[in-house]
Amino acid sequence: MEEDDQPVSPTAQYMSSSVLNLTILVVFDSTVPADDSKAVWALENIFLPLNPRFSSIMVRDEDGVQKWRKVKVKLEEHVKVPVFPQGLEKYDECLQEYITKISMEPLPFSRPLWDVSIIKYPTSTAAGNFLIRLHHALGDGYSLMAALFACLKRADDPSLPLTLPSSSEDKKAENRQRKRCSLFHDFLRFSSACVNTVADFGWSLMKSTVIEDSVSPIRSGVPFVESRPTTLSYVTFSLRGIKRIKEKVNGSVNDVLVGMIFHGLHLYMQEVDPWSNNKSSPQVTALVLLNTRAITSYKSMEEMREPNSKARWGNQFAFMHIPMPRFDDNPFHFVLEAQKYIRAKRFSFGIHLTGALLEIIRKLRGPQAASGYMLKTSTNSSLMISNMIGPMEQVQLHGHPISGLHFTLIHTPQSLTITILSYMGNVRVAFSAEKGFIDSQLLVSCMEKSFEMLYEVAVANKEDQVY
């Protein structure tokens, strides 16, 4: 072993075992044809220097402990330029087939755990695309998105820093509310947190072990669903429209997005199986991923590499179970129910207890057992939801103006994974769906219908609609 080998974190071991092997796929839409020579230069001179993990592989020492070891990166092994059939005007179907193909191919552990596919063919939404695969062992969504955003420059003025949405206003409002609270209210809040913690951790433990969601139009329940092919689709919403809905319920953007997703899924299930939304509807639970860092925005790569930084690099995330509300004709019912559950989870230490339980399992039974617990947690739920923020203005990737971007998780043991990313005043919701089981086009249509219904109720002046 070499002296500069660094230990692999426990969470990274969970994500890279023979039981659980998760990868993040990021898709960039370019307004100009993709130039592979520029992309290779950016990888070598901008991307690789950002973090040693991008130039490292996993090895085991004589005691079987996993370590990160720096190696020389051979870019030709990491850069793919696929060739599609000639003569087509648009290559949307070819791109979709290619994404399905690479989503089924695991990243080899014999080299650093990332690769880039450069698509030099136009689609209906872009002149070219960059597909970046990053193994979850390298870091969580916060870490990897921060690294990718560090490779971007503003399209209008590259010398200016990227601006990102901030939740500072929500934080200020929350702090003002706390100041108005008396000691009695603080006691009630603490008591509520204790009750929520017991209920939350107990429910999470049951969902991760013995309670399994029902088979439904969004959960096939077949074994090893993570190995089945998927289709990737997305829909884009106006962030201004989402905020108008948010004002109606006095909640957060996340409350609206989760509630809208639940409502859209109910509409989809009703289309596929009208009986699925009656009073005896199947049990559906969403596994929502959370960033556990005590920060609200991305930090620089230098700050993230500091050992004691609140924004330190790595896998600093947790998950919470949110049950899908029962069917209701009022679309705001789903937003209000999601808001209620999310608020209750905030006043709970359940996610921290779950993290402690994983560490106990790892120490007593090894990383494989901890991976198995995480796999069971995901398998027993119906879908996974992950939400990230992106730049507010248009950016460029080394000479390639980016018109849109989205991401997804690969090899999740569920029939449906939903990811959310904001960019340029819009929110793009992506769906990675089990191919041949979920109708992606119908699902997108139902999500659009859900947004329209919520917006129509939220906005009294019909002439002010923005969707």
Q: List domains and CATH numbers for the chain.
A: 6-154 (3.30.559.10), 168-385+431-464 (3.30.559)
* Confidence at residue 62, expressed as pLDDT on a 0 to 100 scale: 79
Q: Which of these ranges, 62-71, 119-128, 162-171, has the smallest mean pLDDT?
A: 162-171
Average pLDDT over residues 188-202: 66
At 155, is the pLDDT very low, low, confident or very high (cuts 50, 70, 90)?
Answer: very high
* Confidence at residue 458, expressed as pLDDT on a 0 to 100 scale: 86
Q: Compute the chain's Rg from CA coordinates.
A: 22
Helices (H) and strands (E) in the chain, counts: 13, 16
Please give the structure tokens belonging to residue 140.
């969580």
Q: Residues 6 or more apart from 246 whose CB is under 8 A from it?
A: 252, 253, 255, 256
Return the amino acid letter for 230.
T
**CA pair distance 371, 315, nearest whole angstrom:** 14
Taking only the tens place, the pLDDT of each residue in 259-271 is: 999 999 999 999 9
- ∠ CA 428-81-389 to the nearest 5 degrees? 20
- Does 163 or 318 have the greater pLDDT score? 163
- Does 275 or 399 have the greater pLDDT score? 399
* Confidence at residue 190, expressed as pLDDT on a 0 to 100 scale: 54
Please give the structure tokens belonging to residue 82.
């696929």
At 235, is the pLDDT very low, low, confident or very high (cuts 50, 70, 90)?
Answer: very high
Q: Residues 6 or more apart from 294 whose CB is under 8 A from it?
A: 310
* Confidence at residue 49, expressed as pLDDT on a 0 to 100 scale: 95
Closest CA to 334 of 387, 284, 274: 284
Taking only the tens place, the pLDDT of each residue in 442-455 is: 999 999 999 999 99
At 368, is the pLDDT very low, low, confident or very high (cuts 50, 70, 90)?
Answer: confident
Percentage of the residues of the chain whose pLDDT score is greater than 70: 88
* Confidence at residue 421, expressed as pLDDT on a 0 to 100 scale: 96
Q: 56-60 and 66-70: which strand pairing?
A: antiparallel
Please give the structure tokens belonging to residue 176.
């003002």
Judge contact between 417 and 431, C-beta under 8 A: yes
* Confidence at residue 305, expressed as pLDDT on a 0 to 100 scale: 81
* Confidence at residue 179, expressed as pLDDT on a 0 to 100 scale: 45
Average pLDDT over residues 344-362: 76
Return the amino acid letter for 286.
A
